[in-house]
Amino acid sequence: MTEATPAAVLPAEEPGEAPLVELRDVTRSFPGPPEVQALKGATLEVASGDYISIVGPSGSGKSTMLNILGLLDRPSVGEYRLDGSLTGDLSDDERAAVRARFIGFVFQSFHLLPRRTVLDNVLMPMLYSGVPRREREGRAREALARVGLSHRVDFFPGSLSGGERQRVAVARAVVSGPQLLLADEPTGNLDQRTSGEVMSLFEELNDDGLTLIVITHDTAVARRARRSIRISDGRLSEL
């Protein structure tokens, strides 16, 4: 990878096609003293079906970017449109509803419920995303089959390998049919072979049409995306 001059990150689009994700001059400030700007005038467009990585070291603004994209935080300045709709005026309850139906999350630490089975962990998000009760178990089993874990539905997370736990987390993230998957350091707790397997799974999901944003410090992981964005000192640049 070679670092480009910082600029607005705006890929070519089909005429009339709105981006799925659109940040316009987004700054996120935290009060001091001194005041800290974790994001600085970030502009980004991600088309539906795209696969991008956002790569940068610790303290570069990656977590703040994830929180903005996932509607877990709000910009101090600028606007965020999701599927063409402004998100700035949404109430906390409305933001939670959009997250439940529209966005899937995968984290470095899996965040599985240790006293629930694999199947129960995958069923959980559908309680909040509006999936009819009669469809939930079938969809959960289908999602687990998609990630190669049909034989682990009755296991508990503590009996699984790290790679299997991350696959459960991926199944949980996609079971409600989100349009956008946000992955935060998804290979951070995995060895190299298992990391490759998880990234291959992400690529299969993207090939099926899921929009994917992977946030990572690992340049090898970042290179697997179709587009790579560097974040440094809160500023974005295309690689």
Which residue's structure tokens are 């935060």? 184
- 55 contacts 220 by C-beta, under 8 angstroms: no
Give residue-wise pLDDT tens across range 40-62. Answer: 999 999 999 999 999 999 889 99
Residue 121 belongs to some domain of the structure: no
Residue 145 belongs to some domain of the structure: no
Return the beta strands (E) in the chain as ranges: 21-30, 36-46, 51-55, 77-82, 85-86, 103-107, 180-184, 211-216, 227-232, 235-238
Residue 166 belongs to some domain of the structure: no
Sequence-ordered list of residues with C-beta below 8 angstroms from that of 233, at least 6 positions apart, any chain: 40, 60, 61
What is the share, in percent, of the chain residues with pLDDT greater than 90?
83
Average pLDDT for residues 174-183, to the nearest whole number? 95
Residue 51 belongs to some domain of the structure: yes
Residue 30 belongs to some domain of the structure: yes
Give the pLDDT score at 196.
93
Give the pLDDT score at 119.
97
Give the pLDDT score at 5.
36
- 225 contacts 232 by C-beta, under 8 angstroms: no
- Burial annotation 156-168 (CB, 10 A radius, 16+ → b, else e): bbeebeebbbbbb
**More confident: 124 or 129:** 124
Residue 160 belongs to some domain of the structure: no
Measured CA to CA, the distance from residue 98 to residue 169 in angstroms comes to 19
Q: Which of 208, 211, 210, 169 is nearest to 186 (CA)?
A: 169
pLDDT surpasses 90 at 106: yes
Give the pLDDT score at 129.
81
| Reported confidence tier of residue 9, pLDDT bands at 50, 70, 90 | low
- Burial annotation 21-60 (CB, 10 A radius, 16+ → b, else e): bbbbebebeeeeeeeebbbbbbebbbbbebbbbbbbeeeb
Q: Domain of 72: which CATH number?
A: 3.40.50.300
Tell me which residue range forms the domain holding 68. 21-112+179-238
Tell me the pLDDT of the chain averaged across its residues. 91
Structure tokens at 182: 């946000």
Residue 152 belongs to some domain of the structure: no
Measured CA to CA, the distance from residue 142 to residue 77 in angstroms comes to 41
Beta strands 211-216; 51-55: pairing state:
parallel
Give the pLDDT score at 40.
96
Residue 1 belongs to some domain of the structure: no
Give residue-wise pLDDT tens across range 80-103. Answer: 999 999 999 999 999 999 999 899
Average pLDDT for residues 178-191, to the nearest whole number? 94
Give the pLDDT score at 199.
95
Instruction: Give me the number of domains the chain comprises.
Output: 1
